[in-house]
């Protein structure tokens, strides 16, 4: 483990606490690992980071054995809009956003942390004339990605895998920059790998967006970015911002930036909003813990308690709260690849079967912005008298 007392992005020592947890930690591949996390933030540039992060050898070992939730190639998360009809997958949403800013019919693209190659395949369906490469540390996921002969996928950690200089027209890095131990160095390496005028597509959690509250609860999230800090970093390191979507429906932020001809330049210091973000996060996490304690108490009294949702919200509850030891019926979800599996030994059932299981209480483990919509959906499905409880605005007990 290494300990960083000053900001790794700007070098300032105006460091403030955000949260601490351990020794039981949630990893984003839906596993429990041992460790301690001390997240802090910089009062000068707004960057957040874990002061006690894994070193290079530990990270290489961790990600070499890392895999996503399932071994199926078609695994993808569903994104729900304001209405049931507004549904698309995460990968399709990312590919659509980037395609809006890529006009060339041919070129060369590199995806850093490409996983099973889902994004590259999705973009290939839009821009079939392009050549596609990827870097991925997980041996298992590389094997799955290489089933597509059109993908040049290299196994290893970004920074350790050799890259040609100024060889790519587009470089993508989605939900990876928060995992790297030296993001400043990573941005410079990406700039060197892009042709002049090439595009960089970055997607990371927006630490200020409560729909991505678990950004600061994942063991391997080493850095945390408010939107102003991410834009400042890229501009300072030689990029011009083309588009910046600060808030997606699921709490991430997206930037498309173009490599500047004259390289790095001074950039105005960003407005820092992390103090207010920390207060809002603490309030949300407190309410989530209170709801989890309520559900655990109901289960201890013999009531049939179920959880709607088998994603990151449910995972954080099952790892960090009173629900960790509670006897619940299981979880209910609508994602086909989750149904029939387990999450920390709790069975995952189809939502359509929830009435058959006759829960007395259903806890809503969804993002805050979707809780009211899900509560209405459950009210139409569950038996009369079922207690439906959530922590989001517009959700009340029934």
Q: What is the pLDDT of residues 279-331, one digit of tens each?
A: 999 999 999 999 999 999 999 999 999 999 999 999 999 999 999 999 999 99
Q: Are residues 118 and 8 in the same domain?
A: no
Q: What DSSP state is assigned to residue 271?
A: P
Domain hosting residue 227, numbered range: 78-272
Q: Are residues 348 and 365 in the same domain?
A: yes
* CA distance linking residue 236 with residue 390, whole number of Å: 42
Tell whether the torsion through CA atoms of 116, 119, 123 and 129 is positive or negative: negative
Q: Supply the pLDDT for residue 55.
A: 86
Q: Which of 217, 238, 272 is the last residue of a domain?
A: 272
Nearest residue to 340 (alpha-carbon basis) of 27, 25, 72, 29: 72
CA distances from 75 to 9, 295, 338 (A): 34, 30, 9
* In a domain? residue 195: yes
Q: Which helix (H) or strand (E) holds 373?
A: helix 371-381
Q: Are residues 306 and 268 in the same domain?
A: no
β strands within 54-164, DSSP E:
78-80, 87-89, 108-112, 131-136, 151-155
* CA distance linking residue 50 with residue 1, whole number of Å: 11
Q: Are residues 232 and 160 in the same domain?
A: yes
Kindly report, residue by residue over 234-245, the tens digit of the pLDDT. 999 999 999 999
Nearest residue to 115 (alpha-carbon basis) of 161, 56, 73, 167: 73
**Would you tell me how many other CB atoms lie within 10 Å of the CB of residue 376?**
12
* In a domain? residue 99: yes
Q: Are residues 37 and 168 in the same domain?
A: no
Q: Which two tokens stand for residue 197?
A: 């005028």
Buried b (16+ CB within 10 A) or exposed e, 330-353: bbbbbbebbbebebbebbbbebee
Rg (CA), the chain: 21
Q: Supply the pLDDT for residue 310.
A: 95
* In a domain? residue 24: yes
Q: Supply the pLDDT for residue 398.
A: 44
* In a domain? residue 397: no
Q: Which of 64, 98, 118 is the last residue of a domain?
A: 64
* In a domain? residue 71: no
The answer to whether the beta carbons of residues 212 and 225 sit under 8 Å apart is no
Q: What are phi and psi of 12, to 5 degrees?
A: -75, 155
Q: Are residues 96 and 229 in the same domain?
A: yes
* CA distance linking residue 109 with residue 111, whole number of Å: 7
Residue with tokens 């019926």: 329
The answer to whether the beta carbons of residues 180 and 233 sit under 8 Å apart is no
Nearest residue to 18 (alpha-carbon basis) of 46, 43, 38, 47: 38
Number of domains in the chain: 3
Q: Are residues 88 and 226 in the same domain?
A: yes
For residue 89, give the CATH number of its domain.
3.40.50.150
Q: Which two tokens stand for residue 312?
A: 């990151």
Q: Which two tokens stand for residue 20?
A: 């601490």
Q: Supply the pLDDT for residue 79.
A: 61
The parts of the chain modelled with pLDDT lower than 50 are 69-70, 82, 85, 394, 396-398
* In a domain? residue 69: no
Q: Are residues 190 and 282 in the same domain?
A: no
Q: Are residues 25 and 174 in the same domain?
A: no
Enumerate the H helices of 169-239 as residue ranges: 183-193, 227-236
Q: Supply the pLDDT for residue 280.
A: 96
pTM (two decimals): 0.91
For residue 346, give the CATH number of its domain.
3.40.50.720
Q: Are residues 257 and 143 in the same domain?
A: yes
Q: Which of 225, 242, 272 is the last residue of a domain?
A: 272
* In a domain? residue 8: yes
β strands within 215-351, DSSP E:
223-224, 239-245, 252-259, 305-308, 330-333, 342-343, 346-350
Q: Are residues 263 and 345 in the same domain?
A: no
Q: Are residues 158 and 214 in the same domain?
A: yes
Q: What are phi and psi of 62, to 5 degrees?
A: -60, -50
Q: Supply the pLDDT for residue 77.
A: 62
* CA distance linking residue 291 with residue 38, whole number of Å: 25
């Amino acid at each position: 483990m290494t300990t960083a007392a000053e900001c790794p992005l700007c070098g300032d020592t105006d460091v403030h606490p955000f949260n601490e947890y351990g020794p039981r930690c949630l990893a984003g591949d839906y596993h429990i690992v041992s460790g301690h996390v001390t997240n802090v933030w910089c009062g000068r540039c707004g960057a957040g980071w874990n002061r006690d992060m894994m070193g290079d050898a530990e990270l290489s070992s961790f990600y070499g054995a890392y895999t996503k939730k399932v071994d199926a190639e078609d695994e993808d998360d569903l994104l729900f809009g304001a209405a049931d009809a507004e549904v698309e997958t995460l990968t399709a949403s990312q590919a659509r956003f980037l395609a809006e800013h890529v006009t060339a019919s041919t070129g060369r693209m590199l995806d850093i942390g490409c996983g099973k190659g889902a994004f590259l395949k999705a973009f290939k369906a839009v821009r079939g004339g392009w050549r596609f490469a990827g870097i991925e540390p997980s041996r298992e996921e590389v094997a799955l990605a290489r089933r597509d002969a059109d993908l040049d996928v290299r196994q290893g950690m970004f920074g350790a895998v050799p890259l040609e200089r100024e060889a790519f027209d587009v470089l993508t890095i989605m939900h990876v920059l928060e995992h790297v131990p030296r993001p400043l160095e990573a941005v410079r390496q990406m700039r060197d790998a892009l042709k002049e005028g090439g595009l960089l597509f970055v997607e990371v959690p927006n630490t200020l967006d409560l729909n991505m509250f678990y950004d600061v609860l994942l063991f391997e999230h080493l850095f945390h970015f408010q939107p102003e800090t991410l834009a400042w970093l890229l501009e300072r390191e030689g990029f011009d911002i083309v588009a910046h979507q600060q808030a997606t429906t699921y709490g991430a932020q997206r930037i498309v930036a173009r490599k500047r001809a004259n390289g790095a330049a001074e950039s105005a210091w960003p407005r820092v909003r992390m103090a207010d973000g920390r207060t809002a996060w603490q309030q949300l996490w407190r309410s989530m813990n209170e709801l989890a304690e309520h559900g655990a108490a109901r289960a201890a009294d013999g009531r049939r308690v179920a959880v709607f949702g088998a994603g990151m919200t449910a995972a954080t509850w099952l790892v960090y709260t009173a629900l960790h030891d509670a006897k619940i019926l299981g979880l209910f979800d609508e994602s086909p690849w989750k149904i029939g599996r387990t999450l920390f030994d709790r069975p995952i059932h189809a939502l359509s079967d929830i009435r058959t299981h006759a829960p007395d209480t259903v806890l809503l483990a969804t993002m805050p912005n979707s809780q009211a919509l899900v509560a209405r959906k459950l009210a139409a499905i569950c038996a009369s008298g079922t207690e439906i409880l959530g922590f989001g605005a517009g959700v009340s007990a029934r």
